[in-house]
């Protein structure tokens, strides 16, 4: 998929995500918007995952460790044809399968997530199985930066390096904010890149909201033979909506009617710039 189409898709995805959150009257707005460009590039350009190949043992695997950014994932999966768009209007509704974190009841979702610090271990298991079976599939997992304080991730990191899982790709949505405020004030993570390197990853940093930069980054996988790849994706929480950007308050805030109008107007203007 070409860059222009991907950029337009990101804007459309943002619109649909906000509408879904508004309908559900719930959702993790800030984190959805920060990781949407990454999900877009992964699903539309990098990973061989589609409704047609979900039974294939050779499909790539995606585990969304930051499960709370589920609205963004649902929007991308819906666009990929895993389920109709109308399903997005059932998010968090009574008896809907579309709950507020990913579950395997939803076509396209590989693993139930939501508790932080779990996705990487599962991804390691999937990547290990690929090595055992000499299969060429890759395993991608998306983590939030707030969840990096979970000790289990560092256990998993040790095993990823120990087993030389160069078929594993870990992406950190480094938006710098978590529900309480700045990650560095809640519990300092830096120097994050050095920590990951010390744990045995081949680490690269990228602007995680820059589609061409992401495409370039993913084209270099694996970064180093015999090492798991880690992408430290610098992102903006609330990306794309002027009054949501860089605001911890938008972690799970639902836009008011007025805020929705402004947000959609901003996205439509961005879309016009792209189309025009």
Q: Tell me whether residue 164 or residue 204 sits nearer to another protein (CB atom).
A: 164
Q: Tell me whether residue 39 or residue 130 sits nearer to another protein (CB atom).
A: 130
User: Is-contact 152 119, C-beta < 8 A?
Assistant: no
| Distance in Å, CB of 129 to another protein, minimum | 3
Integer Cα distance of 167 and 135 in angstroms: 10
Q: Tell me whether residue 3 or residue 198 sits nearer to another protein (CB atom).
A: 198
| Distance in Å, CB of 198 to another protein, minimum | 17
Integer Cα distance of 162 and 208 in angstroms: 27
Q: Which two structure tokens, joined as six digits, stand for 230? A: 């880690």
3-state DSSP assignment of residue 236: coil
Q: Tell me whether residue 15 or residue 28 sits nearer to another protein (CB atom).
A: 28
Q: Which residues bind another protein (CB under 8 A)?
A: 57, 61, 103-104, 110-115, 117-118, 120-130, 132-133, 151-152, 155-156, 158-159, 162-163
| Distance in Å, CB of 120 to another protein, minimum | 8
- The residue written with tokens 């405020």 in the block is 181
Q: Tell me whether residue 115 or residue 198 sits nearer to another protein (CB atom).
A: 115
CB atoms within 10 A of CB 190: 9
Q: Tell me whether residue 63 or residue 233 sits nearer to another protein (CB atom).
A: 63
The contacts of residue 66 (CB under 8 Å, 6+ apart) are 31, 35, 113, 116, 119, 142, 143, 144, 147, 173
User: Is-contact 123 61, C-beta < 8 A?
Assistant: yes
| Distance in Å, CB of 127 to another protein, minimum | 8
| Distance in Å, CB of 65 to another protein, minimum | 10
Integer Cα distance of 209 and 251 in angstroms: 17
| Distance in Å, CB of 130 to another protein, minimum | 7
Integer Cα distance of 112 and 65 in angstroms: 9
3-state DSSP assignment of residue 110: coil
| Distance in Å, CB of 163 to another protein, minimum | 8
Quick one: CA dihedral 180, 75, 272, 22, positive or negative? negative
Integer Cα distance of 97 and 172 in angstroms: 27
User: Is-contact 76 107, C-beta < 8 A?
Assistant: no
Q: Tell me whether residue 6 or residue 148 sits nearer to another protein (CB atom).
A: 148
């Amino acid at each position: 998929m070409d860059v222009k189409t991907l950029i337009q898709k990101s804007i459309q995805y943002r619109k649909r995500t906000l509408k879904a959150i508004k309908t559900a009257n719930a959702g993790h707005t800030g984190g959805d918007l920060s990781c949407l460009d990454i999900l877009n590039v992964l699903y539309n350009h990098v990973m061989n995952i589609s409704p047609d190949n979900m039974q294939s043992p050779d499909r790539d695997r995606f585990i969304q460790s930051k499960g709370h950014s589920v609205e963004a994932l649902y929007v991308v999966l819906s666009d990929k044809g895993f389920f109709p768009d109308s399903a997005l209007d059932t998010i968090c509704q009574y008896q809907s399968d579309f709950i507020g974190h990913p579950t395997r009841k939803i076509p396209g979702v590989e693993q139930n997530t939501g508790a932080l610090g779990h996705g990487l271990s599962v991804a390691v298991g999937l990547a290990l199985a690929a090595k055992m079976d000499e299969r060429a599939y890759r395993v991608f997992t998306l983590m939030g930066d707030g969840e990096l304080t979970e000790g289990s991730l560092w256990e998993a990191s040790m095993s990823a390096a120990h087993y030389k899982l160069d078929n594993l790709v870990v992406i950190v949505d480094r938006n710098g904010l978590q529900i309480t405020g700045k990650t560095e004030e809640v519990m300092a993570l830096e120097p994050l890149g050095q920590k990951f390197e010390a744990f045995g990853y081949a680490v690269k940093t990228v602007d995680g909201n820059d589609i061409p930069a992401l495409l370039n980054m993913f084209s270099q996988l694996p970064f180093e033979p015999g090492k798991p790849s880690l992408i430290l994706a610098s992102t903006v929480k609330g990306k794309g909506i002027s009054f949501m950007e860089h605001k911890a308050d938008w972690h799970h805030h639902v836009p008011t009617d007025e805020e929705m109008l402004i947000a959609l107007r901003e996205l439509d203007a961005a879309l016009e710039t792209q189309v025009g």
